[in-house]
Structure 1
Amino acid sequence: MAAPSPPGVPRLLPLLLLGLAAAAAAGALDPVCGGGCCAGPVRNGSAVAALCGSRAGAVLRGRCCLEGQPEQEAVVGLDLGNCSLHRLCSSFQEASTAFVIDLTGNPLERLPEDAFRGFTLLQTLALPQTLDCPGGSEGWDNVTLQGSSSRICQGQRNPCNGSGGLGRLCPEDSVCVPDGPGLPQCLCIGPFHGYKCLRQGTFPSLLFFGTLGAVTTTLSILLWATQRRKAKRS
């Protein structure tokens, strides 16, 4: 017969699980907010510090300004200024929900064209003056030089809007949606799918994944048999 649980344990268990979930969510943002990209706190007087001070419920953690419940926190501001970065850190995409990002004071190399893919909420981006705004000047409402070292990109434009919008490149039966500064993407309109949205009807998921599974299983068996023969010969 199992021993009875100590008094209070059933009540403490949900709180413990909630605490573990919150810690896991916070840990998920540690690489970009903590020492993974740049150690230290948000700089006093920075645009990210000002943003956090103006938004009720926002909190500073490491180099980030965060909003939301502990288990669903999102980065709204990222201050990586004066971090001696030559390139963006591998966890940079975790800040794709940010409104404000500061990268000034870094010897950054030229950024990849899709470095800000998915950053659809970004409204203010501060860069070293040697770098251009992602998407070019036409990707922003306002591009200004600040002093002799910074370039400020403000007001991200929708690349699908206007007569000269990149949405004109989308094929028929698709719609253009923004995917970051100067980066449109074309989404098929149901029931169309596939290359250039040329196929009509529901996506054949069962056939696709069934074929993929069969091929994977066959290759695994062949690889196992080959390794087994080599092992016998040796």
Structure 2
Amino acid sequence: MKIIMIEDNSSVCEMMEMFFQKEQWEASFIQDGKEGLDIFLADNESWDLVILDLNLPSMDGMQICREIRKVSKTIPIIMLTAKDSESDQVIGLEMGADDYVTKPFSPLTLIARIKALTRRANLSRENNDELERPYEIETKHLKIDKKTREAFLYDQEIEGLTPKEFELLYTLAKNPKQVFSREQLLTMIWDYEYFGDERTVDAHIKKLRQKIDKNGPQVIQTVWGVGYKFDDTEVE
């Protein structure tokens, strides 16, 4: 695996370099935001994962994440936040990050997050290779083509879906009317324990709903005290 880590703390980079070498992962460490983005864009298809610090010289992590998502909607992005701030975490997810890790962090925790994200990405690619029909999911108003990672609601494409938003919609729509708890969605989509932090599910659901609203009536429903479900049967 080839990782680009854009982080201006040299001690953190040196620490993670040892852990990456142990995993036999190739990693490049860039300490300037603009330089890191330029290196990624120069050959964006060669990278398997991006780790971004929130606060960087010349260009912050939010801007970098937004620019990366313009050229790659599928590469896993982990954002490092310097404080346990819900607003920073939510904004990072809105910009297209797949996960966040709060500093100070355990290197083993970051390694576990990386493995979980890449495992999900690999499974998704395998499923895409096996897909034979145009739409893997087709309900009353929704069509999803997992091979192209496109979703059409009310005959219009749902635009700007991040990888995690797509997986959320896919999981819910694959099991219409079934109610999923936040814990279930964390396990199924993020593929690791979130230690009770369910805010990331709510943040992704909120952004997913905002994008669905542009197409028409809402199909992601809240079941109070339980979780979320997909249901478009009552929509005319």
TM-score, length-scaled by structure 1: 0.31
Bigger radius of gyration? 1
TM-score in terms of structure 2 length? 0.31
Question: Whose helix fraction is larger, Structure 1's or Structure 2's?
Answer: 2
Q: Which has the higher contact order (CA 8 A, sep 6+)?
A: 2
